[in-house]
Amino acid sequence: MPPTPRLLGVATAVPRYRLDQDEVIERVRRLFGGAAQLDRLLPVFANAGIRTRYSCVPIDWYDRPHGWTERNQIYLCAALDLLTQTTNRLLDRARVAAAEIDTVVTVSTTGIATPSLDARLIERIGLRADVRRLPIFGLGCAGGVLGLARAASQAIAAPGETVLFLVVELCALSFRRDDFAKSNIVATALFGDGAAGALLSSDGTGPAISAAGEHTWPGSIEVMGWDVADDGLSAVFSRDVPKLVGTRLRPAADEFLARHRLVLDDIDRCICHPGGAKVIAALEAALDLVPGALAEARAVLRDYGNMSAATVMFVLERVLAEASPWRRALLTALGPGFTAGFLVLENR
């Protein structure tokens, strides 16, 4: 039997600037006042299910144009600060020293870093010089689940060693004040900034990662992702995402579970990336959950917005902190590809 990776701890962090959704709406009215379609798109903000979000820059930063170089420099500084906070919290909670970490898996898709973020963290948080690094780019919103699965694979490959999984996304930096496209307005209504992390090892106690997998649908490259523009990254969203979740997720989830001799009735909790209010409703329908069952996902969306890959880790943190018992949980997230990530956690 291969070793079983376990979660030794989970931690999250957000930047200092808090954005109130009503304040964002007023700012958008001012910036996009000349757009003919603005009144038609403003209900996106009210219907997003978001009250607050966090940003690595103050709200008045968005009033001015910014180029790719400036945006990426802010990304590098803010991402490293958030990852440092996350790691320090995680090490404190798990009572693990930075020098005990053998591998770092880092997921991010909202900026470019070469040397990668994990390399820049080595001296900052006191990692060993021989720590193994696996930076991952391009997973988008699915990166929380898929990245955690990659970290679990590293823990299986090196029994007894400690793996640090980190994810940071600064989605709000992608706002483009001169872009009147619907995708930009939707992104402005949804996106926030945040970071999260987990420690894994086949030694120790904590929920076991018993299965992981993914499904990429053919002919779906254009469903979501980034376009690269002169002034930064431009969000790509298909209006059909909730419909795709409602019609395609369940068969893929059933196939994944069947490969591991499970069915949906074997799952006690669903821990889902909350892409938006409509996506959460589609997830509940697709997974045969009662309306409102994904309360933790809704709460994270309400309090933090969509932080892309980091968001599902915020949901996981809340579930792990609850007193209500569960035996087996299914983590899901969807991202560019168009890809669904799946992971099974077991309390055993």
Alpha-helical segments (H) within the chain? 21-31, 38-41, 43-46, 68-94, 117-125, 143-157, 182-190, 241-259, 277-286, 295-304, 311-321
Is 82 or 221 the better-scoring residue by pLDDT? Answer: 82
Per-residue confidence band for 290, with pLDDT thresholds at 50, 70 and 90: very high
pLDDT at 341 over 80: yes
Q: For all residues of the chain together, what is the average pLDDT? A: 91
Per-residue confidence band for 348, with pLDDT thresholds at 50, 70 and 90: confident
pLDDT in the model for residue 126: 95
CA distances from 96 to 86, 91, 124, 176 (A): 13, 5, 16, 41
Q: What is the pLDDT of residues 100-156, one digit of tens each?
A: 999 999 999 999 999 999 999 999 999 999 999 999 999 999 999 999 999 999 999
- Write down the number of H helices and E strands in the chain: 11, 13
Q: CATH fold of 208-346, please? A: Peroxisomal Thiolase; Chain A, domain 1 (3.40.47)
The reply to whether 56 belongs to the active site is: no
pLDDT in the model for residue 37: 65
Tokens of 314: 């915020």
pLDDT at 307 over 80: yes
Residue with tokens 């910014």: 66
pLDDT at 196 over 70: yes
Task: Give me the mean pLDDT over the 178-199 stretch.
Answer: 85
User: Taking the CB of residue 42, how many other CB atoms lie within 10 A of it?
Assistant: 16
* Cβ(189)–Cβ(276) below 8 Å: no
Among 56, 77, 141, 270, the one annotated catalytic: 141
Q: What is the pTM of this model?
A: 0.95
pLDDT in the model for residue 51: 94
CATH topology agreement for domains 6-201 and 208-346: yes
Q: So where are the chain's domains?
A: 6-201, 208-346
Task: Give me the mean pLDDT over the 292-310 stretch.
Answer: 95
**Region 6-201: CATH code:** 3.40.47.10
Per-residue confidence band for 334, with pLDDT thresholds at 50, 70 and 90: very high
pLDDT at 174 over 90: no
